[in-house]
């Protein structure tokens, strides 16, 4: 009998776009991890005599207004942008799983109170809520990660709650209760592993959203602060010279576009491969 992993891969690889997205993400991770070795220059080194030089053999993606090598800054910026995306999503997933699991397992007034809180959180425009909190606390890489994480867990909690409402009535859960197994063990050892499929899909899509949010915050000056490079603040620095130095906006913009698109394609592929109802469509 075919294992679940082989079944998943058989359906997942049918989507060439999803496989392509996953390949690009893996390459991006390798580049980000090897940035200190791949970067030909120090990303913070300035040389005003080289300012706004177009792409060339010496500087593959040109230089910025301070003479810094854009290629080196893009490599180091990939590490920052991906770190923000994954740390923020890890925080949001943990909160979402906890809230959704408790609401779905216990139901009753606990479910009502938690879901009403989720509804209240969903009423606020996420980006403006994040922008307000970061503006009040002050911008920094750590604060950006935490704020994005604690303001984007609502979708995960709803998915987990829906799975728990269905799974808590299954025979294996009822058998565990009859044997006197504690609720904590039932939640985290018996039900949660069977409820993680939609969480993986949500997490993949949320990483893309977090990267976009970080880029937006950095573009407005509330994200990662210079001289630390990120794709968002490289894009910000280039907007003043958009007509004189096109490479300062085109290359970071393309990096954001390709990375976010790759995560979205991967998320779609995961959703189709993990959901039996969608497998027959391909």
CATH number at residue 201: 1.10.3720.10
pLDDT of residue 1: 43
Task: Provide the residue range defining the domain that includes 268.
Answer: 4-279
Partner residues linked to 69 by β-bridges: 63
pLDDT of residue 3: 63
Number of structural domains found in the chain: 1
| CA atoms 77, 78, 83, 89: torsion sign | positive
pLDDT of residue 262: 92
Name the H helices within 107-196.
108-123, 126-137, 141-150, 154-167, 171-178, 183-185
- Beta carbons within 8 Å of 141's beta carbon, 6+ residues apart: 80, 83, 84, 224, 225, 228
Tens digits of pLDDT across the chain (282 residues): 456 677 777 778 888 888 999 999 999 999 988 988 888 888 888 888 888 889 999 989 999 888 899 999 999 988 888 888 889 999 999 999 999 999 998 888 899 999 999 988 888 777 787 888 777 877 777 888 888 888 888 888 998 998 898 888 888 888 888 888 888 888 888 888 888 878 888 888 888 888 888 888 887 777 777 778 888 888 888 888 888 888 888 999 899 999 999 999 998 888 877 765 555 554
Burial of residue 89 (number of CB atoms within 10 Å: 0-12, 13-18, 19+): buried
Decide if 165 contacts 101 (C-beta within 8 A).
Answer: no
């Amino acid at each position: 009998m075919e294992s679940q992993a082989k079944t998943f891969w058989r359906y997942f690889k049918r989507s060439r776009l999803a496989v392509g997205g996953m390949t690009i993400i893996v390459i991006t991770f390798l580049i980000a991890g090897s940035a200190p070795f791949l970067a030909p220059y120090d990303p913070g080194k300035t040389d005003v005599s080289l300012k706004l030089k177009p792409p060339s053999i010496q500087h593959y993606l040109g230089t910025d207004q301070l003479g810094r090598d854009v290629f080196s800054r893009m490599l180091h910026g990939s590490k920052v942008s991906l770190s923000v995306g994954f740390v923020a999503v890890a925080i949001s997933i943990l909160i979402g799983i906890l809230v959704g699991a408790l609401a779905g397992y216990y139901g009753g007034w606990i479910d009502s109170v938690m879901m009403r809180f989720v509804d209240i959180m969903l009423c606020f425009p996420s980006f403006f809520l994040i922008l307000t909190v970061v503006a009040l606390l002050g911008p920094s890489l750590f604060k950006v990660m935490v704020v994005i994480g604690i303001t984007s867990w609502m979708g995960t909690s709803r998915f987990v709650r829906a799975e728990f409402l269905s799974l808590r009535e299954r025979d294996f859960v009822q058998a565990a209760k009859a044997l006197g197994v504690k609720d904590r063990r039932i939640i985290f050892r018996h039900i949660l592993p069977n409820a993680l499929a939609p969480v993986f899909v949500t997490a993949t899509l949320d990483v893309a959203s977090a990267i976009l949010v970080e880029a937006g915050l950095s573009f407005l000056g509330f994200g990662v602060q210079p001289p630390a490079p990120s794709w968002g603040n490289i894009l910000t620095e280039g907007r003043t010279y958009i007509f004189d130095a096109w490479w300062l906006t085109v290359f970071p913009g393309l990096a954001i576009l390709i990375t976010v698109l790759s995560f979205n394609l991967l998320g779609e592929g995961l959703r189709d491969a993990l959901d039996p109802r969608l497998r027959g469509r391909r």
